[in-house]
Structure 1
Amino acid sequence: MSYRKKVDAQYAHIVSLRIGLGLMAVVCLALAYGWWSAPRELTVHVPPDLRSGSTRKWWDIPPESVYAFGLYIFQQMNRWPTDGETDYQDNIYRLDAYLTSSCKTYLQKDFELRRNAGELRKRERGVYEIPGRGVDDQQEQHIIQKSINDWTVNLDITADEHYGGERVKRALARYPLRIIRSDVDPEKNPFGLQWDCYDGNPQRIEVSTDDVAESGGRR
């Protein structure tokens, strides 16, 4: 009788071990699936000034990053090194991943209107930030956060146009850019942001002509 009890006890122990191994296998499969389905890359926005510590939620985009994105895309779109009739169109296609569909349509119409009016042929163009009117100086005026996915970036810009080596136009204006969160294609757009064109009409501004001339001469 004692021998039979030992056999039953060993059999019960073997069954419990098998159950335990089965549960461990299920847990390992679940962990493997979680590891496999986890994102391989995670974009974390860090403020450009790292002299002081910063603690942020991973999904939070600092205003400085939004401003830098807006300025970068705007400058790239308005950079016509040789001929605005070809450079402007090329920029629209080249920056496609950084533009919303509605903004791309707007820019395409703007290109066609300017081309038909003769404002692009053989024109060279460049834009740059007006000294002393950047985000470091007046952040509350230049970045307006409307939600966690929507910002207005006010760029104070000087736009210079040249024709045949001579400057034919200089405009100083504030451009209200609308920037939205759009992390849909990290491969083509690592910023996770898109330019949704303008949040209002550009407004002419007045600044010291000496400051503008000095900055323009350095570029």
Structure 2
Amino acid sequence: MSRFRHAVKGRDQHIFTLRAACVVLLILLMTALGGWMRAPEKLTIHNPPDLRKGSTRPWWEIPPPTVYGFTYYIFQQLNAWPKNGKVDYPARIQSLSSYLTPQCKAFLEEDAKQRGEKNELTDRVRVVYEIPGRGYDTNSVKVVDRDNWVVKLDLVADEYYLTEPVKRVTVRYPIRVVRWDGDSETNPFGMALDCYDGIPQRLSAAPELPKHTNKGMF
């Protein structure tokens, strides 16, 4: 009888062990399912422009050339007033608000208001572009930390009153940029401008604007 008792006891212990293992596996499965459900559906990977040498980096790292390209594009769009600065400037701020921090948006809106009250925007046409030969280099982007950068933009700013050229200056704009993982539908870049990191500096004299003539289009 003792031998049969030991056999039954061993069977019961084995069944208990299997049940405990099933419970552990069920807990691990529920944990895995919970982690899978909380995982992001989309993951943005920032690749440098030149991949000929390959690239190995953490997925959350944004390369400085990408930061520079984003900053230049958004800042250029902010300063593109094709018809009338009094209308175009506030409209640009609103349309690009997804790429601006709330503080920067408020700053630009106040700037547009003050300049509008001084009649500095009415019928003003403006465009900015890179100074030839002063595009991106290794000193163009200062990495403050993983989520903050300061970008140096050396640009030419041309302004016209209606069709009359009135100003051409070359300026260095120091722009703060922050990581902005908000709505990926309206801001797929995951970055935002945080306005100026200091006072823009005027550079050497710019080439003169072409003199206005009335000789027609050609």
- The TM-score normalised by the length of structure 1 is 0.86
* The one of 186, 189, 193 aligned to 1:188: 186
How far 1:3 moved relative to its partner? 4.4
How far 1:157 moved relative to its partner? 0.7
**Distance in 1 between the 2:14 and 2:200 partners?**
80
Name the structure 2 match of 1:148. Answer: 146
* The one of 169, 172, 183 aligned to 2:170: 172
**Distance in 1 between the 2:13 and 2:126 partners?**
84
1:120 partnered with 2:118: no
**Distance in 2 between the 1:151 and 1:33 partners?**
35
Structure 2: which 5+ residue stretches go unaligned? 211-218
How far 1:184 moved relative to its partner? 3.2
Name the structure 2 match of 1:97. Answer: 98
**Distance in 1 between the 2:55 and 2:82 partners?**
39
How far 1:7 moved relative to its partner? 3.6
Name the structure 1 match of 2:54. Answer: 53
Q: Is the Cα contact below 8 Å between 2:169 and 2:206 reproduced in 1?
A: no
Decide which structure has greater helix share.
1
Closer, same or farther in 2 for the Cα pair 1:47/1:66, shift >3 Å? same
**Distance in 1 between the 2:103 and 2:97 partners?**
11
How far 1:208 moved relative to its partner? 6.8
Q: Aligned partner of 1:191: which letter?
A: F
How far 1:30 moved relative to its partner? 1.0
Q: Give secondary structure in 1 for the equivalent of 2:199.
A: coil
Name the structure 1 match of 2:12. Answer: 11
Name the structure 2 match of 1:158. Answer: 156
1:106 partnered with 2:93: no
Q: Give secondary structure in 2 for the equivalent of 1:28.
A: helix
Name the structure 1 match of 2:42. Answer: 41
Name the structure 2 match of 1:20. Answer: 21
Name the structure 2 match of 1:129. Answer: 130
**Distance in 2 between the 1:100 and 1:207 partners?**
33
**Distance in 2 between the 1:166 and 1:200 partners?**
31
Deviations 1:118-138 (A, max 9, x none): 121222221111110011xx4
Closer, same or farther in 2 for the Cα pair 1:50/1:207, shift >3 Å? farther
**Distance in 1 between the 2:169 and 2:80 partners?**
15
How far 1:207 moved relative to its partner? 6.1
Deviations 1:16-44 (A, max 9, x none): 22222121111111111111111222222
Q: Give secondary structure in 1 for the equivalent of 2:150.
A: strand
Name the structure 1 match of 2:66. Answer: 65
Q: State how 1:76-87 maps to structure 2 within 5 Å.
A: 76-87=77-88
How far 1:92 moved relative to its partner? 1.1
Give the percent of matched residue pairs that are identical in Structure 1 and Structure 2: 46
Q: Give secondary structure in 1 for the equivalent of 2:70.
A: helix
Q: CA RMSD in A?
A: 2.1
How many pairs align? 209
Q: Give secondary structure in 2 for the equivalent of 1:79.
A: coil
**Distance in 2 between the 1:148 and 1:107 partners?**
26
**Distance in 1 between the 2:96 and 2:162 partners?**
27
Q: Aligned partner of 1:197: which letter?
A: C
Structure 1: which 5+ residue stretches go unaligned? 214-219
How far 1:4 moved relative to its partner? 4.4
